Structure formats: structure tokens, C-alpha cells
Amino acid sequence: MPPLRQAVIGEHVATIEPPDLLILSFRGVIRAPHVAEYAALRADLLSDQRYLLTLADLRRVEDVEPACRRSIAAIRDERAQATAFVGGSFRFRVVAELIANAARVFAHRKLAFRFFPDEAPARAWLADMRRTFRGA
């Protein structure tokens, strides 16, 4: 198995877990420049993937700048995507749903997402999504 690849974005850590999982561990406030760095990292490290699987750990998020919401919704990527959110406040879940729905409608993204209380069921759902995306 290839080694894990990591990048630090602000206070957050992005890890590529082979073969195809991006793990985002958020801490503190998510700011607009972080979104731009994340998009560049994703384009650089995951450009050969046919689909995107992301596990986003929100348990240590304090807030999301309003400008981030627009930046996230504006990311252009036609690949099928599944994101499992772990933790997060009710307020953050509402914001995440608004962003995801805007991305689906305005950016024409194929995006599935779900919220989970902890990591084990999130990983199980992502494994199911991997099989779906691979056509198995």
C-alpha cells in the first residue's frame, strides 16, 4: 500500500488514504483561503480519480466563514462525489446541506452526502459508495 499523503491547510489536515479516500480533519474556523487551497490540492492529488470519496471530520469545527459557502459551491468538478460528514453541530449540518444543494443545482455536480455520529458508519457508507461508483 502506498504511503499516506498529507497536507496542512490552515489549522486543518487533508490526508489521502489509499486507494481513493480523502480525509479532511477540520479544526477551528474554515476560511475562504482554505477552500481555495483544498480545491488546488484535490485537483493536484486526485486528478486521476474517476470519482471522489471524502470523509470530513467536523467534530472540531468552530465556524465557517460565509465566503467559504460560495467558494465551495463554485468548485467545478463533474466527477461523482460522496462525502461522509462526521460530527458537526446542527447549524453546520444545515449550512452543509445548503452548500451541497447549491453545488448540485448551480455547478451540476453529482454529489451524495450523509452525516454520521462517528467514523465507523461513515467509512462503511463510503465503502458502499465506492462499490456503486465502480459499478460493482
Task: Give pLDDT tens digits for 19-35.
Answer: 889 999 999 888 888 88
Q: State how far the Cα of 76 lies from the Cα of 109, in Å rounded to an integer.
A: 8
Q: State how far the Cα of 82 lies from the Cα of 114, in Å rounded to an integer.
A: 8
Phi-psi region of 135 (alpha: psi -120 to 50; beta: other; left: phi over 0): left
Q: Is the pLDDT of residue 83 over 80?
A: yes
Q: State how far the Cα of 62 lies from the Cα of 92, in Å rounded to an integer.
A: 9
Domains, the chain, in order of start with CATH, read 5-134 (3.30.750.24)
Bridge partners of residue 26, in order along the sequence? none
The mean pLDDT value for 122-128 works out to 98
Cα end-to-end span (Å), the chain:
22
